[in-house]
Structure 1
Amino acid sequence: MAISHALPLQPIDVQPLGDRLPSEKSVALFKSEDLEVMRMVLLAGKSLPVHQVPGEVTIHCIEGRLDVTAEGASHVLAAGQLLFLPGDLPHGVIALADCSALVTIVLRK
C-alpha cells in the first residue's frame, strides 16, 4: 500500500502532539523530487542507529528532548530547537523524553 503524502499547497499540521504523542508513529509528510519531510516520533529511550543520507538534513524538535550524536559529540535538542546536518554525516538519534521532530532531507540525485 502506498503512503499518502500531502499535495502541493495542502496545509500540514505539525503542532505538538501533546497527550497523543505516545500513541503516534513516525510518518512521511511529503516527498518531492528534491525534498522529503517527515514527522519523527520517538518515545523516551528509543533510538535510531547511526546512519547517514547523501543530502543535507534538518531536525527540528517540536516537543520533548532528543540527542543527536555526530562526529563523537552529543547535540541535545529541546522543543523549538533545530539542528542542521551536512550530507553524508553519520549520525544517531536517541529520545531523552517522548518527542516529535520535523525531519527534512534534501534528496540528492
Structure 2
Amino acid sequence: MALKHAQPLEVIDLHATDETRGTAVSSSLLKTPHLQLMRVVLAAGHALPEHHVPGEITIQCLSGEADVVTPSRTCRLASGTLVMLPAAEPHRVQAHLDTLLLVTVLHP
C-alpha cells in the first residue's frame, strides 16, 4: 500500500491524533518532485542516527526538545524553534523529551 500524501491546497493537521496520520509514528506528509514534508516523532531518549540528504532542510520543533547535532555544532530545538541545514550536511537528532518535529526537505 502506497503512503497517502497530501495534495496541493489540502490542509494538514500537524498534531493529528488519528491512525491515518500516525499518532506515535513518523510519517511523510507531502511529497512533490521538489519538496517533502515529514512529521517526525521521537520518544524521550531516542535518536535518529547520523545521515544526510542531498537538498537543504529545515527542522522545526512543534513540541518537546531535541538536539540537532552536526560535525561542527549542536543546536538545541524547543517548541517553536527551527534550524536550517545546508545540502548534504551530516546530522543526527537526539530527543530529550517526547518530541514532534516537522522536517522540510528541498529536492535539488
TM norm structure 2: 0.90
Name the structure 2 match of 1:20. Answer: none
CA distance in 1, matches of 2:88, 2:8: 28
CA shift for structure 1 position 14:
1.6
Distance in 2 between the 1:16 and 1:77 partners? 21
* AA partner of residue 31 (structure 1): K
Match of 1:88 in 2: 88
Partner of 2:20: none
Task: Name stretches of at least 5 consecutive residues in structure 1 with no aligned partner.
Answer: 18-22
Please report the TM-score for the alignment, with normalisation by the length of structure 1.
Answer: 0.89
- Residues in 2 aligned to 1:81 and 1:15: alpha-carbon distance in whole angstroms: 16
* Deviation for aligned residue 1:31: 0.1
1:68–1:76: 8 Å Cα contact kept in structure 2? yes
Q: Is residue 16–residue 62 contact of structure 1 (8 Å, CA) maintained in 2?
A: no
Overall identity of the aligned pairs, in %: 44
Quick one: distance in 2 between partners of 1:102 and 1:3? Answer: 17
CA shift at 1:24, angstroms?
1.2
Report the CA distance shift for 1:65/1:16 in structure 2 as closer, same or farther (over 3 A): farther
Q: Given the superposition, is the C-alpha separation of residues 97 and 69 from structure 1 closer, same or farther in structure 2, using an over 3 Å criterion? A: same
Greater share of helix: 1
- Give the Cα–Cα distance (whole angstroms) in 2 for the partners of residues 79 and 51 of structure 1: 23
Q: Which runs of 5+ in 2 are unaligned?
A: 18-22
1:62 deviates by 0.1
Q: CA deviation at 1:16?
A: 8.0
The corresponding residue for 1:76 is 76
Partner of 1:4 in structure 2? 4
Stretches of 4+ aligned residues off by more than 4 angstroms: none
Moved more, 57-66 or 6-15: 6-15
* Distance of 1:99 and 1:44 partners within structure 2: 7
